[in-house]
Chain A
């Protein structure tokens, strides 16, 4: 599920990827969308923010959360 600036690049609709862990997700996205290579974002797996590379179970929901600064 892409949010904010990520959705600007990927489109707003959730999409499916085949990946074993969150590092692979970052890698796939960076090669598909070069703009995302330098973009910083947090990843939540099944609604929990993960800081380190995390294995993904089948059907896991991965949220891509960039920081917002506006106020």
Chain B
């Protein structure tokens, strides 16, 4: 190890059970971090500081002001800039001795297998089910270690997939959740909010598991799911086992993978409902004989500025109301719950009636 490395990584080299041998393994490793957001930012910082030799950063998104509450590597002056470029520049400032590769793209079925095959470990820091299932399936096909984390409000989930334990047993995300939920049942951070520090905690835990996998120290979180509850300051760990039907639900070949439409797979049912873009919605809202319904739960903000009534989705699920108006408009926060509500209402409509869901929800107006 070069002298400058010996100094930079001296606290690792000195560390009992780690030493120069483990540090050399990190310097020789290649890790791909997908999503430079709430989870990806802290994971990137510690993997960079630790001296992982090559780090790929995949993100096609730009920095927005609402990201700064938790995506701590970005500055106010970065708003509007590409996340992967900014993140790569910041990481090189932190550690110029390693290689950082930004990918300003979205992983999809055409690029995932080739991209993943160039790395030793994949880190999932994405924010939607379509990409999470796509990443999982690509990692299964390639037999690639996947360090998974996901957050909801005050809780986080952490796991390692596709790494066999001492008995040769390994699991993947579909052994936990074989198929995705309806999008409206699993709101994302945009809709449900998230405690800013929570993805920070989980992202750092992902980095910890990556370092354990690469260096062979400790007991990586194999065949387990850890749930971290920030409000209780507690964690709960459950054992995972391979599901009987899991392997059948995963594309068996690279060709089958490339022909899978993950967006559709995660949004089945969406096609049954007509969605309105904000302009069309705002035109219709002003008309008479149009019923406008907020299907959010009571007390959710922002309030709508136009005339409407509130019938929460939870009420509609119990009993679908019958309407007389020819047009019914439903909206919610981000346009997910309103699709479910519209689908239910649609079943009860007479021939001359139509129901529409506001695409992107009230946040899109």
Contacts and interface: CB of A to CB of B under 8 A. Distances in A.
B189 interface: yes
Contacts of B155: 3-4, 68
B88 to A, nearest CB: 19
A44 B318 CA distance: 27
Contact size range, B: 35 or more
A71 B176 contact: no
Contacts of B330: none
A42 interface: yes
B192 A70 contact: yes
Given A5-B186, A39-B185, A49-B225, A71 B127 contact: yes
A65 B151 contact: no
B231 to A, nearest CB: 8
B39 A71 contact: yes
Interface in B188-204: 188-189, 192, 194, 199
Contacts of B231: 12
B177 A40 contact: yes
B314 A69 contact: no
A41 B70 CA distance: 27
B219 interface: no
A69 B129 contact: yes
Interface residues of A, number: 26
B237 A70 contact: no
A66 B183 CA distance: 12
Interface stretch (B103-111, B239-247, B277-285): B239-247
Contacts of B185: 5, 38-40, 66
A29 B278 CA distance: 37
Contacts of B126: 71
A10 to B, nearest CB: 12
A35 B318 CA distance: 8
Given A67-B180, A69-B129, A71-B199, A48 B239 contact: yes
Interface in B121-168: 124-129, 132, 149-153, 155-157
B227 A65 contact: yes
Given A66-B186, A67-B129, A71-B38, A35 B317 contact: yes
B96 interface: no
Given A49-B238, A65-B227, A38 B182 contact: yes
B37 interface: yes
B125 A42 contact: no
Interface in A40-70: 40, 42, 44, 47-49, 51, 63, 65-70
B321 interface: no
A68 B186 CA distance: 7
Interface in A2-47: 3-5, 9, 12, 34-35, 37-40, 42, 44, 47
B35 interface: yes
B360 interface: no
B339 to A, nearest CB: 13
B186 A49 contact: no
B238 A34 contact: no
A37 B153 contact: no
A29 to B, nearest CB: 14
A11 to B, nearest CB: 13
A3 B186 CA distance: 12
A47 B227 CA distance: 11
Given A48-B241, A65-B227, A71-B149, A5 B187 contact: yes
A31 to B, nearest CB: 11
B177 A42 contact: yes
B19 interface: no
Interface of A: 1, 3-5, 9, 12, 34-35, 37-40, 42, 44, 47-49, 51, 63, 65-71
Given A34-B318, A51-B241, 11 more contacts: A4-B153, A40-B179, A47-B237, A49-B240, A67-B177, A68-B150, A68-B186, A70-B194, A71-B37, A71-B149, A71-B151
In the complex, the 9 A-B pairs of residues with the closest C-beta atoms, listed nearest first: A68-B150, A71-B127, A68-B152, A44-B238, A40-B181, A70-B189, A70-B151, A48-B239, A71-B39
